[in-house]
Amino acid sequence: MELTNRYDFVLFFDVKDGNPNGDPDAGNLPRIDAETGNGLVTDVCLKRKVRNYVGLAKGEQPPYEIYVKEKAVLNSQHARAYQALGVDLSKDEGKRLGGDRTEDAKKWMCNNFFDIRTFGAVMSTKVNCGQVRGPIQMTFARSVDQIVSSEHSITRMAVATEAEAEKQGGDNRTMGRKFTIPYGLYKTCGFVSAPLARQTGFSAEDLELFWEALQNMFEHDRSAARGLMSAQRLVIFEHGSLMGNKPAHEVFDRLKVERASDQALPPRDFSDYRITLDGKELSQFKTVVSVT
């Protein structure tokens, strides 16, 4: 079924004693807004977790294959499209392999890969399958309050080589560093465009799978670095038309986050916060709100 309505959404998630999204250019420290001290998680990080969940849930089978994944060779994926269309790329004389069948190849890629028809993709590489604007986009997640990064010394009771063992006289210890934040509640906003969904073939069934992924993606992304990460609240604003009824910022302003009490101690649990929609506290994970 085609999407006939625009959607906007807000996802709240939290992390305890973990690093939700380390910055490799800063020694893997938790990402932070240098001016405000609020924590950040990139949209790319969140999309990665959605991709991983869908790949696990659907077994990487069409129409739910994942295009951007670990160790993927993208041109090889593009070539599959032309092979399915019966196009011999060795005879293509265009500037990029693909020629006049690019639109057909793009459609094939959208039909087979969930993340292409969801988030879009730039596939204008050597084997050209064009470019796709995805119907779903997400913002960086930003923590509600400032975060404090803690550095921990860790010890591994082993070494990698015989030379290291000999140097240590058999002690065989390797020292390292680990960065965590004690607690952070993060908020990300997202947008679903029905007109763009029609262009990529993104369906109502795909949208339900996306909501499912947002709810469960952290459950299959556990690691020693990330601590306890949990999706806490998902608020979906369903507009009454294809193009939408109100600007997204007006819709998001209906949500408020505040401390649940006046205690001076910093927050350490989701229960330390109160999230309200139009003045009423949200008590269930998923809430769908009509926008008229």
Query: Coil, helix or strand for 73?
Result: coil
**Mind listing the pLDDT tens digit for each residue in 267-291?**
999 999 999 999 999 999 999 999 9
* Residue 154 in domain: no
Classify residue 152: in a domain, yes or no: no
Share the mean pLDDT of the chain: 92
Considering only residues 152 and 234, tell me which one the structure prediction assigns the higher pLDDT. 234
User: Would residue 160 count as lying in a domain?
Assistant: no
Q: Is residue 157 part of a domain?
A: no
Q: Is residue 169 part of a domain?
A: no
State the residue range of the domain holding 37. 7-147+179-291
Give the integer Cα–Cα distance in Å for 231 and 210. 14
pLDDT of 225 reads 87
Burial of 24 (0-12, 13-18, 19+ CB in 10 A): exposed
pLDDT for 235: 98
Asked whether residue 135 is domain-assigned, the answer is: yes
pLDDT of residue 173: 77
| Number of domains composing the chain | 1
pLDDT at 265: 87
Residue 258 domain flag: yes
Q: 27 lies in a domain?
A: yes
> Does residue 99 register a pLDDT over 70?
no
Read off the pTM.
0.92
Sort 245 into a burial class: Cβ within 10 Å, 0-12 / 13-18 / 19+: middle
